[in-house]
Amino acid sequence: MRRLLNFIDGEFREPTSNKWLEKHSPLNDEVIYELPDSGEMDVIQAISSAAKAFEKWAATPAEERSQILNRIADLIDENIDALAMAECEDVGKPLSLARKLDVPRASQNFRFFASKILHKVETASDMDGQAVNYVLRQPLGVAGLIAPWNLPLYLMTWKIAPALATGNVAVCKPSEFTSQSCFLLADLMARAGLPKGVCNFVFGLGDPVGRTLVEHPGVPLISFTGGTKTGELVQKQSLGHFKKLSLELGGKNATIVLKDVDLKKVVPSILRASFLNQGEICLCGSRILVQEDLFEEFCEVFAEAASQLVVGDPREENTFMGPLVSKVHYKKVKSFVEIARKEDGKVLTGGEFPENLGDEFKNGYFLRPTVIKDLTQCSEIHQTEIFGPVVTVNSFKYLHEGVKWANTSPYGLSASVWTKDLSKAHKMARDLKVGTVWVNTWLKRDLRMPFGGQKASGLGREGGEDSIDFFTEKKTVCIEF
C-alpha cells in the first residue's frame, strides 16, 4: 500500500506513533493509500523545526526569497500532470478542472507574492520638522496554515506563498481527505532550494493535528480555511494566546437573476456557479433568486440544462462533475435532499445517483446535479451550507426583496447579480452583506483584491495587501530630528 509521509525539517518522516489513516477513493470507496495519523509530538517537532529556521529565513534578502518562490512556481508548472491527478484522485474533481484551475492557481500564488515583496514601499511621515516616523514591517514567526479538502493545493498555496514571501516559516495541515498534492508540493519545495524547516507538512486529523497547531504558544498566527463550526472551535482553541487569526469560513451564496437577462447567455454561467467542482466551492451559488416574471421560464431552462451536465469518471475529458469527496460528506448532502422532500420542496432534477455509470463506480459517491423549488426562505436548506451539487430556486418581485432574501442567511461570503442594468447592479452590490459581489460573472478572482467573508463566513481579509498585512507586524519608528 502506498504511504504518504510527513515533511518535517526538510525530510520525509513517518508519524512518531506509527499510526496510519486510510484514504478511500471517491470513485469506488476503495482504499488507495495511507497517510500519517500524526499526533501532538509530530506537530511539536514541526513547530520547533520551523522556529529554528525562522531567524535565517527572515533575514534572507527579499530578492533571494522571491527567486526560491519563483522556482517553486516553475516546478509546479512542470509537474502539472502529477499534481492535477493527485487532486482528481483525492477530491473526485474533474482532471480537466484541476489542470485548468487548481494547479495554475497554485503557481500563480507563488509568482504573485514573489513579485509583490520586491515592490513594497512603506510610508513615512514628517512631523513638521520635529521628528520623522517610518514603518517597519516584520514577519511574526511560525505560521499555522490549515486548509480544507475542496481546493487543496489552490488554498494551501494561497497561504504558504504570502507567509514565506514575507519571511515567516510555516507548519501546514491539509485536510485528512486530500493530502496528496501537499505531499508532492513538499518535495518540489525542497527541490527548489527552500531551506529545511522553512515549510513543514503534518498530515492527519483536525484533532489532534490542527488543534495542537492552534493551541501551541509558539505559533503566533493561524490562517484557517474551513467550515464555520470548525472556525468557531479554532477561535476557542486560540483564546488567551492573542494570536493573529484569519478565518475563511462557509458560504450560502445567493445568485440573483433579474428579469432583463438573456437566459441563453446567463444559464451556462449560472450552472457553473452552481455545480463547478461538484458544488464543493465555498463561493458556489446555492440559492438562486429569480425575479418573478422570469421565474417559471428560468426553472424550466435551468433544470433541463442541469440534467444534461455530464456526471461520471473525473478522468474523462468531457466530465463536468465527478463524485463527492467522501462517504460521510456524500451521505450528508443526500440527507439534505431528503429534508427538502419532507418540506414539500419539488426536486426539478437530480437528487439521485446517476443511472448510466458503469459497475466499477457503483460504490462511488456520485450525485446528479440537483435543483429544488417551492421551499420557503426559512427552510433549513436555505439556512445551512450543504456544500454539494444542490441548489434551490425561489422568486422575488422587487429588487429590495431580492437583496433581503439574499441577506437572510447566517453567512456572508459572496453573491452574484445577473442583469443588463448596471445601475441596479450597483445598488444591490452596495446593500448585499457579503465579502465579494460578482456582477454578470462568477469566480473571477483578482489576487490583488481583498478576499473574505462577513458574518458566519469569517473574520479578516486575505489577498494582495491584506495578505501582506496579515502575515506581518507593522512597527512605527519615531526619530526626533
Footprint of ligand NDP on this chain (CB under 6 A)? 146-150, 155, 173, 175-177, 205-207, 210-211, 214, 225-227, 230, 233-234, 237, 248-251, 282, 385, 387, 413, 453, 458
Place of cell 505560521: 143
Rank residues 126 and 207 by Cβ distance to ligand NDP and give the closer one. 207
Rank residues 146 and 425 by Cβ distance to ligand NDP and give the closer one. 146
Phi first, then psi: give them for residue 137, nearest 5 degrees: -110, 130
Please name every residue paired with 395 in a beta bridge, in sequence order, or none if there are none. Answer: 290
Cβ proximity of 94 and 320 under 8 Å = yes
DSSP annotation of 66 reads: H
Cα 203 from chain centroid? 18
Handedness of CA 93, 99, 101, 106 (dihedral sign): positive
Q: DSSP assignment of 357-402, as one string?
A: --GGGTTS-----EEEES--TTSHHHHS---SSEEEEEEESSHHHH
Rank residues 225 and 269 by Cβ distance to ligand NDP and give the closer one. 225
Identify residue 186 by its one-letter amino acid code: A
3-class SS of residue 307: helix
Q: Provide the pairing of β-strand 472-480 with 169-173.
A: unpaired
Min CB(414)–ligand NDP separation in Å = 9
What cell was used for 151? 481546493
Place of cell 463506480: 361
Min CB(444)–ligand NDP separation in Å = 15
Identify residue 427 by its one-letter amino acid code: K
Rank residues 153 and 303 by Cβ distance to ligand NDP and give the closer one. 153
Cβ proximity of 419 and 425 under 8 Å = yes
Rank residues 157 and 419 by Cβ distance to ligand NDP and give the closer one. 157
Residues in contact with 393: Cβ distance below 8 Å, sequence separation at least 6, in sequence order: 288, 290, 295, 298, 299, 302, 348, 371, 372, 373
Q: DSSP assignment of 202-242, as one string?
A: --S-IIIIIHHHHH-TT--EEEEES-HHHHHHHHHHTTTS-
Q: Which residues are catalytic?
A: 248, 282
Rank residues 399 and 415 by Cβ distance to ligand NDP and give the closer one. 415
What cell was used for 93? 474533481
Cβ proximity of 36 and 20 under 8 Å = yes
3-class SS of residue 77: helix
Place of cell 509537474: 79
Which residue has the CB atom at the shortest distance from ligand NDP? 206
- Which residues of 127-192 form beta strands (DSSP E)? 131-139, 142-146, 169-173
Spatial CA neighbour of 140 closest among 109, 115, 170: 170
Q: Provide the pairing of β-strand 454-455 with 411-412.
A: antiparallel
Rank residues 298 and 330 by Cβ distance to ligand NDP and give the closer one. 330
Residue 352 sits at the vertex; the CA angle it makes with 350 and 356, to the nearest 5 degrees, is: 95
DSSP annotation of 114 reads: H
Rank residues 111 and 216 by Cβ distance to ligand NDP and give the closer one. 216
Rank residues 87 and 248 by Cβ distance to ligand NDP and give the closer one. 248
The per-type count for the chain, helices as H runs and strands as E runs, is 16, 22
Min CB(248)–ligand NDP separation in Å = 3
